[in-house]
Structure 1
Amino acid sequence: MSFEKLENEVTSCRKCDRLVEFRQKIAQQKRKSYMNWEYWGKGVPGYGDINAKLMILGLAPAAHGGNRTGRVFTGDKSADFLFKCLHHVGLANQPNSDHRNDGLSLDGYITPAVKCVPPGDKPTSEEKENCEPFLSREFELLKNLQVVLGLGKIGFDSCLKFHRKFHPIKLKDYQFGHGVRYELPNGLVLFGAFHPSPRNVNTGRLTFNMMVDFLNRVKKEL
């Protein structure tokens, strides 16, 4: 299995009826400010350095971000905040992630746990399970992986659920929180961070300085 083949499988997947219907509905209706865009409207694969030591694991593509542009954390407010921080600490070559051909280079690999946009950003348990094989293959393909950064609880827990297939991991022993660090039985380091959503950023739950300080900690592990 190559990354190219995996990407093709993700973009052609139609396993979850609810997600397929929703992603296509968003792509057809569009947001007024993006009426000239041809929305992606398909599953959104991960991207970045396939030799990466770092995986950044988020929730799902945003309705008018990844579902529009075809690249996760691209073209939305969460992306604006995240890449400003990643660039500040030297993990990205530019402070913006606008579209698939914007020249972005990432010192890491970034992917959503759920590859299609879910209504209300809330995938069902079945939808998360349907997407799990894609994430499993990403873990298997990233041969140099040392650190996983889970953005939000779903991303964080998705890493644990994959690894408990091979190790006696109990989720209750790995409590999610911003800045938490755990070493998994296979030596992989798992960090947790608040998701850079507009809600978290606008309320001050997550600030630029908080994220930069945290990313500098992560970077020291690489």
Structure 2
Amino acid sequence: MRGSPTTPQGHDFPSVMAPRLGSVRELDESVATCRACPRLVAWREEAARVKRKAFRDWDYWARPVPGFGPTDAPLAIIGLAPAAHGGNRTGRIFTGDPSGDVLYAALYDLGLASQPESTHRGDGMKLYGVRITMPVHCAPPANRPTTTERDTCRPWLARELELLRPTLGAIVVLGGFAWQALLPVLSTTGWQVPRPRPPFGHGAHAQLTDARSERVLHLLGGYHPSQRNVSTRTLTPAMLRDVLHRGADIADVAVRRPPG
């Protein structure tokens, strides 16, 4: 397992550190040092010790996983959290697990990713006009972070979106958890969230206005590309491409015509 800081941190580490950071690069570096949630720290490190048989030769990342993609992206994609043997292993969100296989294939089909599969941090993957991030940066047990863990991690997402604000035009939100986690973040960072709050659904579309500049930020809901959703065809590759295509169009990111 890669070395990670062992100095104890208070639960307020994200809220104290995040507002001080002046760039997305600094934010990514700080996120990877966070140990604010004891349950998540224990789980991510236990997963790295035990490993899955298929990955027994891997040196797991076993730290919080930062966002991925250009720091001036007009389009953001927000998921849930890293998978214990996916992002927690590879160090890149949506990398090395079935959900990532579906997402990166869709991004590649639209010309938003340089290759159709993401396997590890050094695989050469590049994103074009898109940044992927999440409300919880550590792999949670059973893929279910607690509300306390979500709220402790919130300052990282808030600061990341603030740093992306000058170029950000649209966010594709994958899953109800991410949708519910994101709305309070946007509200506290100056975006006017409609009341009642817009409900999540695949294809949901909400517009938020910046009270300071009257800029509009578009939120698009999409089902999470989880193995369950894909296997039950709750979400198909075409459905995912469609919502990503809509987000890219709104954010004025060039796409190519998807197959089919």
Same fold flag (TM > 0.5): yes
Q: Tell me which residue corresponds to 2:238.
A: 209
Q: For residue 167 of structure 2, give the secondary structure of its aligned residue in structure 1.
A: coil
Q: Aligned partners of 1:112 and 1:214: how far apart in 2? A: 18
Say yes or no: does 1:88 pair with 2:109.
Answer: yes
Which one-letter code corresponds to 1:42 in the other structure? R
Shift of 1:90: 1.3
Q: Aligned partners of 2:158 and 2:93: how far apart in 1? A: 18
Q: Tell me which residue corresponds to 2:183.
A: 160
After superposition, the Cα gap between the structure-2 partners of 1:141 and 1:69, relative to the gap in structure 1 and judged at 3 Å, is: same
- 1:59 maps to which of 80, 83, 92: 80
Which one-letter code corresponds to 1:147 in the other structure? A
Q: Tell me which residue corresponds to 2:147.
A: 125
- Give the paired residue count: 222
Q: Aligned partners of 1:158 and 1:110: how far apart in 2? A: 15
Q: Tell me which residue corresponds to 2:125.
A: 104
Which one-letter code corresponds to 1:175 in the other structure? P
Which string of whole-angstrom CA distances, capped at 9 and with x for unpartnered residues, describes residues 157-177 of structure 1?
A: 222111211355367431000
Alignment of 1:64-83 (within 5 A): 64-83=85-104
**What is the TM-score normalised by the length of structure 1?**
0.96
Q: For residue 185 of structure 1, give the secondary structure of its aligned residue in structure 2.
A: strand
Q: For residue 12 of structure 1, give the secondary structure of its aligned residue in structure 2.
A: coil
Q: Tell me which residue corresponds to 1:137.
A: 159
Shift of 1:73: 0.4
Q: Aligned partners of 1:162 and 1:83: how far apart in 2? A: 26
Aligned residues: CA RMSD: 1.3
Say yes or no: does 1:179 pair with 2:203.
Answer: yes
Say yes or no: does 1:198 pair with 2:227.
Answer: yes
**What is the TM-score normalised by the length of structure 2?**
0.82
Which one-letter code corresponds to 1:176 in the other structure? F
Which one-letter code corresponds to 1:16 in the other structure? C
Q: For residue 209 of structure 2, give the secondary structure of its aligned residue in structure 1.
A: coil
Q: Aligned partners of 1:129 and 1:209: how far apart in 2? A: 33
Q: Aligned partners of 1:168 and 1:81: how far apart in 2? A: 32
- Which runs of no fewer than 5 residues in structure 2 stay unpaired? 1-21, 211-215, 252-260
- Which runs of no fewer than 5 residues in structure 1 stay unpaired? none
Percent identity, please.
45
Q: Aligned partners of 2:163 and 2:56: how far apart in 1? A: 37
